[in-house]
Chains A and B, each alone.
Chain A
Amino acid sequence: MGKRIGMEVGIAAAEAVALCNIDVAAVYPITPQSHIAEHMADIIHDGRIDAEFITVESEHSSISACAGASATGARVYTATSSQGLMLMHEILPIVSAMRLPVVMGNANRAVSGPLNIWNDHGDIMPQRDSGWICLFTENGQEVIDLSIMAFKIAEDPEVMLPTVVNIDGFQLTHMIEPLEFPTQAQVNKFLPDRKPYATLHPDNPMTMGCFNMPDIFTETMKAKDTALWNSKKTIVKVFNEWGRQFGRKYNVVETYKAKDAETLILTMGSMGETASIAVDEMRKAGRKVGLVKLRLWRPFPVEELRAAIKGCKTLIVMDRAISFGGAGGPVATEIKSFLFHDKGRPRIVDFLMGLGGRDVTVGDFIAMVERAKNKKDETYEYYGVRE
């Protein structure tokens, strides 16, 4: 492992991808992802890696170009954010249905309207049902590590599914912080060349993305769903391989002081580290509070979550996205639905917070734990909203 260096995380994401021997990048710039797009273009233009950068006219085109390139057997990367991801929406389930291992970085940002360029998870949650593997990162180092691991996961013959690495916009993308890069030789050892299951080639005609009549569509959907569920095995395997080679161990569900905790805070993305400081402070005051962090969102790590929250009385879910007119934030709704039949399940408190770039401080986490104590019902609440 190399020396610790300082770098902006957005730039680091592009540098990490550049270590992955990609063949094609098709990236359309959008705040706060722009530095990834610009730096990726620089790396390829400067000839540092042997790859094509396709300059596209929209995100709909960038993901379509990625799908086409991936179908020929290429290793492909794209990145986007917010409205760009929304524009890709139509193509996302096609990429997964065609089992194309495209890797995408998504700089999480609120979706319009009103226009807001700041961080929340409102862009990725509407893509929840697209059939992509969906990972979240907590700091710059995880952005590097998971961007590299994403290719290995996506391209595994047991998986063959597109993978999105979520990178909180600004909070992560625009942060200069210390990072360690693996060397090219180390990445080469970790990440072998892609061995495609099938490729589009004029010499061997075949069909990808075929038409399905009603009498086969259901079977195709179940096959896709099963493939996504089965991918968890490979995700864990790749996390373990990374841990063995680089000494940084990743889990699909991470915990912090959770073992004897009566109250657990559940976060996704960059909030986790700030929340851990709040846990430390509350522990110092004698409160049995702990932290659970979902690194994997799709496929949902239900067994690992059950194990992590075992014995806790209150689970406070931090939702950074809204399901208007629905049961609550997408994360809490999902967890409630999985735990519905579990005897002795914890009380679940759902806070919608950190929306559209509103900062979440150590004090906010402590205040939410306090607020949860007296909250009787399990309906969702907008934390910190001015009443």
Chain B
Amino acid sequence: MAKKKTEQKKWPEKWHEVTPGCMVFEPGNAANYKTGSWKAQRPILDTKKCIKCGICYIFCPEACIQEDTEGFFQADLGYCKGCGICAHECWPGAISMVEEEE
């Protein structure tokens, strides 16, 4: 079943601009919303300790950790909310959380 593509503004200004049922037709548009500003702490990866197991990638609730060209898993700080789950799960202890302002 095909969806109906409608031209829509990024943000409805007036009530009659709201789509029926407030439906959102642009897939993955949550990416437009940068949640990186929420974090009070940021993850720092020690590549000497990292064994590239990818457990941080699996556990990251924001799905902001991706494998880089060297095979290390790096958090995208534009979206990372600083929850620290990656650091908690990293059993070789390669990720540490540091205060954002430092």
Chain A interface (Cβ within 8 Å of chain B)? 72-73, 97-100, 160, 196-199, 201, 204-210, 212, 216, 218-220, 222-223, 226-227
Provide the residues of chain A in CB contact with B21, threshold 8 Å. Answer: 97-100, 160, 197-198, 208-209
Q: Complex: how many Å from CA A227 to CA B18?
A: 12
Within the complex, what minimum Cβ distance (angstroms) separates A69 from chain B? 13
Provide the residues of chain B in CB contact with A98, threshold 8 Å. Answer: 21, 23
B1 touching A199, Cβ below 8 Å: yes
Q: Complex: how many Å from CA A63 to CA B21?
A: 17
In the complex, which of the residues B2, B12, B22, B26 has the most CB atoms of chain A within 10 Å of its own CB atom? Answer: B22
Q: A198-B4, A223-B18 are in contact. Are A216 and B23 (CB under 8 A)?
A: no
Chain B interface (Cβ within 8 Å of chain A)? 1-4, 11-12, 14-18, 20-28
Provide the residues of chain B in CB contact with A227, threshold 8 Å. Answer: 20
Within the complex, what minimum Cβ distance (angstroms) separates A23 from chain B? 12
A206 touching B3, Cβ below 8 Å: yes
Chain B residue, CB-CB nearest to A99: B21
A201 touching B22, Cβ below 8 Å: no
B3 touching A208, Cβ below 8 Å: no
Within the complex, what minimum Cβ distance (angstroms) separates A228 from chain B? 12
Interface pairs (8), CB distance under 8 Å: A160-B21, A197-B23, A198-B4, A201-B3, A204-B27, A205-B28, A206-B27, A223-B20
B12 touching A204, Cβ below 8 Å: no
B20 touching A197, Cβ below 8 Å: yes
Provide the residues of chain A in CB contact with B11, threshold 8 Å. Answer: 216
Q: A199-B3, A206-B3 are in contact. Are A219 and B25 (CB under 8 A)?
A: no
Q: Complex: how many Å from CA A205 to CA B30?
A: 13
Q: Which of B2, B14, B26 contacts A219 (CB 8 A)?
A: B14
Q: A198-B4, A199-B1, A219-B12 are in contact. Are A206 and B23 (CB under 8 A)?
A: yes
A207 touching B23, Cβ below 8 Å: yes
A216 touching B12, Cβ below 8 Å: yes
A73 touching B1, Cβ below 8 Å: yes
A216 touching B18, Cβ below 8 Å: yes
Q: Complex: how many Å from CA A325 to CA B21?
A: 35
A interface, by DSSP: helix, strand, loop or mixed?
loop
Within the complex, what minimum Cβ distance (angstroms) separates B93 from chain A? 37
B18 touching A196, Cβ below 8 Å: no
Within the complex, what minimum Cβ distance (angstroms) separates A353 from chain B? 39
Q: Complex: how many Å from CA A216 to CA B28?
A: 20
Q: Complex: how many Å from CA A168 to CA B1?
A: 38
A72 touching B1, Cβ below 8 Å: yes
Within the complex, what minimum Cβ distance (angstroms) separates B7 from chain A? 14
Within the complex, what minimum Cβ distance (angstroms) separates A257 from chain B? 42
Q: Complex: how many Å from CA A72 to CA B3?
A: 10
Q: Which of B2, B14, B22 contacts A212 (CB 8 A)?
A: B22
Q: A198-B23, A205-B28, A207-B24 are in contact. Are A219 and B15 (CB under 8 A)?
A: yes
Provide the residues of chain B in CB contact with A97, threshold 8 Å. Answer: 21-22
Q: Complex: how many Å from CA A98 to CA B23?
A: 8
Q: A197-B4, A199-B3, A206-B3 are in contact. Are A99 and B20 (CB under 8 A)?
A: yes
Within the complex, what minimum Cβ distance (angstroms) separates A300 from chain B? 21
A223 touching B15, Cβ below 8 Å: yes
Q: A206-B27, A207-B23, A208-B23 are in contact. Are A223 and B1 (CB under 8 A)?
A: no
Provide the residues of chain A in CB contact with B16, threshold 8 Å. Answer: 223, 226
B12 touching A198, Cβ below 8 Å: no
B25 touching A206, Cβ below 8 Å: yes
Chain B residue, CB-CB nearest to A205: B27
Provide the residues of chain B in CB contact with A212, threshold 8 Å. Answer: 22
A206 touching B18, Cβ below 8 Å: no
Chain A residue, CB-CB nearest to B2: A204
Provide the residues of chain B in CB contact with A199, threshold 8 Å. Answer: 1-3
A220 touching B18, Cβ below 8 Å: yes
A210 touching B24, Cβ below 8 Å: yes
Within the complex, what minimum Cβ distance (angstroms) separates A303 from chain B? 22
Provide the residues of chain A in CB contact with B3, threshold 8 Å. Answer: 198-199, 201, 204, 206
Chain B residue, CB-CB nearest to A211: B22
A206 touching B24, Cβ below 8 Å: yes
In the complex, which of the residues A72, A99, A206, A227 has the most CB atoms of chain B within 10 Å of its own CB atom? Answer: A206
Which 9 A-B residue pairings sit nearest by Cβ, starting from the closest?
A: A205-B27, A99-B21, A207-B24, A219-B15, A199-B1, A222-B15, A223-B18, A204-B3, A98-B21
